[in-house]
Amino acid sequence: MDQPLNPPDGLPVYRLLTGPDDASFCHRVSEALALGYRLYGSPAATFNGERVIVAQALVWPTAVTA
């Protein structure tokens, strides 16, 4: 099956997910991957004095050219 040209439900082609480093964040990334997004670059992490905050960029495959 071919990849749709645009993400579903009006979602943007580029997304940056951020949040505490917990199961909820991992589920959000997994859901985006299941929709068809691909990881874009490495994850980032920082400590805000209380907990680790992580970020992961995702991109819709048709938006990336080789």
Digit-coded pLDDT (tens) for 8-62: 999 999 999 999 999 999 999 999 999 999 999 999 999 999 999 999 999 999 8
Nearest to 56 by CA among 65, 12, 32: 32
Cα angle at 38 between 34 and 40, to 5 degrees?
Answer: 145
pTM score, whole prediction: 0.87
Whether residue 66 has pLDDT greater than 70: no
